[in-house]
Amino acid sequence: MTDLSQYQAVILCGGMGTRIRAVGEDKPKPLIDVGGKPILWHIMKTYSFYGVRKFVLCLGHKGETIMNYFENYHAYNHDFTMTVKDKDAKSFHDTGKNNDADVDDWEITFALTGEDTMTGGRLKRIARHIQGDRFFCTYGDGVSDVDLRELMAFHLKKKKTATLTGVHLPTTFGIVEANEAGDITSFREKPVLPGLINGGYFVFEKKIFDYIDDDTTVLEEKPFKRMVRDNQISMMRFEGFWHCMDTYKDYQKLNDMWRAKAAPWKIW
């Protein structure tokens, strides 16, 4: 079994969440909550389940709020006592239950990658923080039950610069099919569309940085196209659960799943 504890996970956390302002106007998208915890926390819990506990967060829009969340992580998740005179002298209390916050052995590098930097530029800026030959990377707004061991094994087998996870995108509309006379022949409620999209959950070799020019580089455009040309990018097909939080409807759906204790991504 592949040991993933040696690898870091880079998470792109610079998104503004312009299409989800109803719940995210005062915070970056990765801090929008699912079940009372930021979606970023859910992503990191998935990685740590597989042994990945070193993270590099690429901060952008309101990045200081993400730093504040983790600087006060224990206070947000435990009862505590403090004195007003010495506010840093906090005494945290056992809640008497199995508190998820107790699993907090994460090493986090907070990288200030710019307010308007594009995805590729954010990645290029954190090159100096990468410790090994390869690393995981994903977006800060999507949850999945993807097996990260399988993803790494696939990447190592393909021996390319980059591997991405290909996922199906379910439509939000039903599809009606009819013959030329106008008689309906079938109706499919919210079917899974053919083809695959980039679901994130990447593995990159350090060589990825050679494909990125500067802050204006969008990772999914020139770098990916250049790697296709060089036969240096592969895709692992994934048939499991994947969902991003792009709209308010996505926010509601993910929270409904969590409340119903039917969240497929909760593998920890």
b vs e for 97-116, b when ≥16 Cβ sit within 10 Å of the residue's Cβ?
eeeeeeeeebebbbbebbee
Q: Domain segments of the chain: what residues?
A: 8-259
Residue 261: its pLDDT value, please?
A: 95
Residue 232: its pLDDT value, please?
A: 97
Residue 193: its pLDDT value, please?
A: 59
Handedness of CA 17, 21, 25, 27 (dihedral sign): negative
Residue 96: its pLDDT value, please?
A: 55
Residue 101: its pLDDT value, please?
A: 47
Residue 260: its pLDDT value, please?
A: 96
Topology of domain 8-259, CATH: Spore Coat Polysaccharide Biosynthesis Protein SpsA; Chain A (3.90.550)
Question: Which residues in the chain show pLDDT less than 50?
Answer: 98, 101
Residue 74: its pLDDT value, please?
A: 73
